[in-house]
Chain A
Amino acid sequence: MTNFFALLSGLTFGLGLIVSGMTNPAKVLGFLDIAGEWDPSLILVMGGAIVIGLIAFALAKKRGSSFLGLPMQLPTARQLDRRLILGSLTFGVGWGLAGICPGPALVLLGEGVQQGALFVGAMLAGMGIFEWLERRKA
Chain B
Amino acid sequence: MIIFKLLFSSASTATHMTIDWIHLTPYSALAGGVLIGLAAAIFVLLNGRIAGISGIIGGLLRPKQGDLAWRSAFLIGLLAAPWLYQTVAPLPEIRIDTGSGMLVIAGLLVGIGTRYGSGCTSGHGVCGISRLSPRSLVATAAFMLTGFVTVFIVRHLLA
Contact = CB atoms under 8 A, between A and B. Distances in A.
Contact of B113 (A5, A87, A113): A87
Contact of A13 (B19, B31, B36): B36
Given A19-B35, A57-B131, A24 B24 contact: no
Interface string B18-62: 111001111011111111111111111111111101100110011
Given A53-B37, A93-B146, A97-B109, A102 B120 contact: yes
Given A10-B76, A118-B103, A70 B35 contact: no
B2 interface: no
B150 to A, nearest CB: 3
Contacts of A120: 107
B30 A44 contact: yes
Given A24-B95, A108-B94, A115-B100, A11 B77 contact: yes
Q: Which of B78, B91, B115, B124 has the most CB of A within 10 A?
A: B78
Dominant SS at the A interface?
A: helix
Dominant SS at the B interface?
A: helix
Interface string B85-122: 10000011111111010111111111111111111111
Interface size class of B (residues with CB under 8 A): 35 or more
B134 A80 contact: yes
Nearest to B95: A26
Contacts of A29: 151, 155
Contacts of A54: 130
A83 to B, nearest CB: 5
B81 interface: yes
Contact of A87 (B17, B69, B115): B115
A53 B150 contact: no
A16 B106 contact: no
Contact of A57 (B44, B53, B54, B82): B44
Interface of B: 4, 8, 17-20, 23-26, 28-51, 53-54, 57-58, 61-62, 69-71, 73-85, 91-98, 100, 102-122, 124-135, 138-140, 142-152, 154-156
Interface of A: 2-27, 29-30, 32-57, 59-61, 65-68, 70-75, 77-80, 83-103, 105-111, 113, 115, 118-131
